[in-house]
Amino acid sequence: MTQRRDFIKKSLIGGAGLAIGGMGFSAKSYGSILGANDRINVAVIGIRGRGVSHIDAWCELKESHNVRLKTLCDTDEQFFDPRSKTVLDKTGIKPTTEWDMRKVLDDKEIDIVSFATPNHWHALGTIWACQAGKHVYVEKPASHNIWEGRKMIEASRKYNKRIQVGFQNRSIPNVMEAMKFLHGGGIGEIYMARGLCVKPRDSFGIAKDSTPPASLHYDRWLGPAPYRPYNEKRGHYNWHWFWDTGNGDTGNQGPHQFDIARWGLNKNEHPVSVFSSGGIYGIDRTQCEQETPNTQLTIAKYNDGKILEFETRGRYSNSESGLGIKIGNIFYGSEGYLEIDGSTWRAYRNKESDPFAGSKVIQANASETLTGSSNTEHFVNFLDAIKSGNNETLHCDILDGHYSSAVPFLANISYRLGREIRFMGNSEKCINDPAADAMLTRKYRSPYVVPSKV
């Protein structure tokens, strides 16, 4: 089996110049280059919600990139039958199923692990996968806190494994075009970026603690999080709204827009200060146990004074800008401004009301792409980077994913402490602020401990 893995690595690296688009190969001809022995075996861990899109993407790449979706893994076995049927219908091959992530990582045939788990499992699962010799595709945010993100970077570098973070906008051609326009001085010098997340969400109610369903391996689902009795309102999807497992909408939908904002500002660094405030509005708190805010405003400043703003509105609200943005970004420059709504962008010069530049190719709205289809471009880029053996070819290497995830993490620390956070990017510590420093990491529940030395 070791010989097979070495052969795959050598074949992929040796074929780096044969990437689709690089030498004009079609998807069909690219697939014919790789023989049966070069098949890339994938496991998807976390098969509910966003995991469905992972399944669809890997299935779609079966022929063009010789991908086999070999294993589906989830702590809740209720999803095994319908997801297995999806894979069988799409590829003609029935995957194996497993609830224990460690057994998946022990499988020497698995080359790639694709994580769509709750946020609190991203870092430990990724580190375990790198240690087991797997490349990793992990959903946003990259981790659950800043310290974990740094450990993921260390694991990637130590074990020479590619980690692609699921900031899919980085592989959408129209968004890439907008970033090139901004970085080329299209609206002059950019001094501020604004991200928006207008997602009205109703109360999900309350429930008494109860016994976990027979299909759920609850201790494993909790993993690194502190133990607490099972409650259905803190489980599937609702985990986003509790600090032990999620990061609220500022750390859920928000990271996509934080990433675009940071990308447009061309800031490959941490901000020096972050202030965030907000609360839970429009919901009867006696009928909902949500901990994270549904309304939140964040202002992050960089060392040169440039500003990143982000706003989460979880109740009914208007859109913004000429494009009517609800989930998107606006950039402000010395000579105009630029709007991005999904994969559509427009640039305006000074006080002019008509755009002078913008996207010419109509693409699916990015918010629909991210939730309603597989969006294979980002997965293909990941495969190409594995083939090249070079982190530099990744559209969102773990370092980029870490920078973009850290801003909403700092925002949530500021919100929870009720004051500005001043941050030292080089050491990834707060300035004279032990309380804030303590929130850069977490206490881990044995044996689900993110190691200090990866």
Per residue in 216-226, pLDDT (tens digit) is 999 999 999 99
Q: 3-state DSSP call for residue 324? A: coil
Residues above pLDDT 70, as percent of the chain: 89
Residue with tokens 């208007």: 318
CA 154 to CA 132: how far, in whole Å? 15
> How close are the terminal C-alpha atoms of the chain, in Å?
25
CA 332 to CA 14: how far, in whole Å? 44
Domain architecture of the chain: domains with CATH: 2-169+376-397 (3.40.50.720), 171-372+400-438 (3.30.360.10)
Q: Output DSSP code: residue 107.
A: -
- DSSP code per residue over 212-277: PPTTB-HHHHHTTSPP----GGGSTTGGGGSTTT--TGGGTTHHHHHHHHHHHHT--S--SEEEEE
**8 Å CB contact between 450 and 225:** no
CA 174 to CA 360: how far, in whole Å? 8
**8 Å CB contact between 3 and 109:** no
Helix or strand run (H / E) with residue 162: none
Q: pLDDT below 50 — which residues of the chain?
A: 1-37, 365-374
Amino acid identity, residue 125? G
State the pLDDT at residue 364: 52
Q: Output DSSP code: residue 99.
A: S
